[in-house]
Amino acid sequence: MLDLCTSLLILAFASASLADVGDFTPCLQFFYRSWPPKGLAGTPICQRYSNIYHFATLYSRHHRSPWFSAYLYTVPTGKRPKASWKYEPQLAYPAADGNMMPFFPGQVDHTVLESQAVELDYINSTYSRGHLNPSLHHQTYQSRSSTFTLTNVVPQKKWSNDGPWENLEQTVNETLAAYCLGKAYIVTGIIPYQKEERWIKNRVGVPEYLWSAYCCPSFNHSIPERLKDAFPTFAAIGRNDPNSTEEIVPIDKTVKKQFMGYDVRQMSLNSLEMYLKDRFNTVISVFKDQCT
């Protein structure tokens, strides 16, 4: 009897340690002080590619898109990999291998289709695939490739994705590469529409805003004056809809027409958390003790 219990226990532990969906335990290294953001509910995914954990995502099954992705920044080298889109088998089949898998040509399995976004959702929609964790913030080819999974992607307007939001990703790249001395933890997430949610193909939730924040506890103290507010933490919110009101992010009417209404506003971590509290109606903490 005892033996049976013991082996059952071992089995339970063995299968728990294999599960990459439902628990952040195997990938706590991507969070500052191993502390995932508090206040948002969803399905944790430890993003595993070729048997290596690359980042962590809190996924919304209801929206078939992520709440946020959390990762460690590394100075990028080399080119952006060719987009080869992947999915997460474990969202459909809990017992499946925990590695993300490339989509195969042809029809997608029905259970997979129900459980997450697929390439067809984005084709001919008016939205591009917006990475939360961008390939640009990673050193190795493999970790860059691992960001091309639809569980790390939200419907993002092209002129945000290829405009102000991309500029933000580049600014963060340059700032951290130049002045962050130790680890830099980044969390990038979304804010849904408040009243009426929007969807592509009636399946994938469209965010009204994207947000991002980093925590770099160890930095070079001889930073230039213009970057004094960028350490140890920094945050921003970006518009994904030119028709949104301007309380959170005002519109600069002097920019090129195609970028108008896709502004990104840089702000303190404190301000970001204030807007998140306002919109989610609950306290959201991105980093433990605000990364102090």
**Token match 């959390």: residue?**
70
Smallest distance from ligand NAG to CB 239, Å: 10
Nearer to ligand NAG, 43 or 175 (CB): 175
Smallest distance from ligand NAG to CB 276, Å: 23
Which burial class, exposed, middle or buried, applies to 94 when counting CB atoms under 10 A from its CB (0-12, 13-18, 19+)?
exposed
Nearer to ligand NAG, 77 or 111 (CB): 77
Give the separation between CA 285 and CA 287, rounded to whole angstroms: 6
Sign of the alpha-carbon dihedral angle for 207, 31, 169, 268 = positive
Sign of the alpha-carbon dihedral angle for 136, 137, 138, 144 = negative
SS3 at position 109: coil
Smallest distance from ligand NAG to CB 176, Å: 8
Asked if residue 31 lies in contact with residue 58, where contact means CB atoms within 8 angstroms, the answer is no
Nearer to ligand NAG, 51 or 107 (CB): 107
Nearer to ligand NAG, 44 or 205 (CB): 205
Residues that bind ligand NAG (CB under 6 A): 75-76, 120, 123-124, 136, 170, 173-174, 177, 181, 220, 222, 241-243
What are the structure tokens assigned to 57, written together? 């995502």
Torsion of CA 231, 158, 55, 236, to 10 degrees: 20
Asked if residue 212 lies in contact with residue 191, where contact means CB atoms within 8 angstroms, the answer is no
SS3 at position 58: strand
Nearer to ligand NAG, 48 or 157 (CB): 157
Smallest distance from ligand NAG to CB 67, Å: 22
Give the separation between CA 214 and CA 28, rounded to whole angstroms: 16
Nearer to ligand NAG, 54 or 137 (CB): 137
Smallest distance from ligand NAG to CB 121, Å: 10
Smallest distance from ligand NAG to CB 216, Å: 13
Nearer to ligand NAG, 185 or 219 (CB): 219
Give the separation between CA 29 and CA 238, rounded to whole angstroms: 27
Smallest distance from ligand NAG to CB 224, Å: 8
